[in-house]
């Protein structure tokens, strides 16, 4: 099961857990209310026939998908890619990731601009809403294999912070102020 916690402010190795002292965890419902991030458990070994994923793809219009493996061995220009993934940014579209193998962290900002760290492992599917500031890093295992889903052709253009004047950010802030009550919940 996915774990979510408030991060400390240490700037040491980004791949470490970075718990506050004492640790402060969040439940999935609280994560959704604070950030709009959605979580689903998927059978990663049979994801092509997983009912939850099939329903999500149909309802949300995910028509394109691909696979990416992030590791020093598999990812060209590994060090620079990891730096780019860890730079705080947002996207104009949802970011949908299904973890097929390995593990890593998605960090998202809450409604008070605190970092929340979401540990993802095999079978976790998260949907990060358009307009939220976030970043990604591997953990100390240095390996993750992920399916990425898109509505139509992939548009994966990060917009580094600050990007508060973008329409997707303004829309996100509006939904956040309403605790995501009428947001994309399936």
Binding-site residue set for Ni(2+): 89, 91, 95, 134
The contacts of residue 169 (CB under 8 Å, 6+ apart) are 90, 131, 163
Whole-angstrom distance, CA of residue 84 vs CA of residue 35: 22
Q: Do the bridges between strand 95-109 and strand 143-150 make them parallel or antiparallel, or are there none, so unpaired? A: antiparallel
> Residues annotated in the binding site for Fe(2+), as ranges?
89, 91, 95, 134
> Residues annotated in the binding site, as ranges?
89, 91, 95, 134
Element (H, E) at 174: helix 167-177
Element (H, E) at 35: helix 28-35
CB neighbourhood size of 54 (10 A): 12
């Amino acid at each position: 099961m996915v774990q979510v916690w408030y991060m400390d402010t240490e700037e040491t190795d980004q791949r470490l857990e970075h718990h506050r002292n004492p640790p402060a965890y969040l439940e999935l419902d609280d994560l959704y209310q604070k950030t709009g991030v959605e979580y689903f458990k998927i059978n990663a070994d049979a994801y092509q026939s997983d009912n939850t994923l099939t329903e999500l793809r149909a309802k949300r219009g995910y028509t394109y998908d691909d696979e990416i493996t992030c590791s020093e061995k598999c990812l060209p220009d590994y060090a620079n890619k990891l730096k780019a993934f860890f730079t705080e940014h947002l996207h104009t579209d949802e970011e949908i990731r299904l973890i097929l193998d390995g593990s890593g962290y998605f960090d998202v900002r809450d409604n008070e601009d605190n970092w929340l760290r979401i540990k993802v492992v095999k079978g976790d599917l998260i949907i990060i809403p358009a307009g939220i500031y976030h970043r990604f890093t591997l953990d100390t295992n240095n390996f993750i294999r992920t399916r990425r889903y898109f509505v139509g052709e992939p548009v994966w253009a990060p917009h580094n912070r600050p990007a508060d004047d973008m329409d997707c950010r303004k829309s996100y802030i509006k939904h956040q102020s309403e605790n995501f009550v009428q947001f994309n919940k399936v």
